[in-house]
Amino acid sequence: MAPPAVEDNIVRKSIIGIKKENHLEKSIYKYEIFRRKVCEMQEGFKASAPERVAEFLRNIGLASEEQEHLVALTLDAKNKITGYYTISIGTADNAVCHFRDLFRKAILLNSLGIILCHQHPSGECEPSGDDIRLTQGARQAGEILGIKLLDHIIVSDTGYYSFVEKRII
Note the pLDDT tens digit of each residue in 19-77. 445 555 554 544 454 455 444 555 567 888 999 999 999 988 899 888 899 999 999 99
- 127: domain CATH number? 3.40.140.10
Same domain, 56 and 108: yes
How many residues would you count in the chain?
A: 169
Write down the pLDDT at residue 121.
86
Report whether pLDDT(93) > 90: no
* Residue 167 lies inside a defined structural domain of this protein: no
83 vs 149, more confident? 149
Same domain, 38 and 89: no
Write down the pLDDT at residue 127.
95
**Residues 17-54 as b or e (16 or more Cβ within 10 Å = b):** eeeeeeeeeeeeeeeeebeebbeeebeebebeebeebb
Cα gap 135→80, rounded to integer Å: 21
* Residue 169 lies inside a defined structural domain of this protein: no
Domain carrying residue 21: 1-43
Note the pLDDT tens digit of each residue in 114-147. 999 999 888 899 999 999 999 999 999 999 999 9
Confirm whether pTM is higher than 0.85.
no
* Residue 168 lies inside a defined structural domain of this protein: no
Same domain, 51 and 28: no
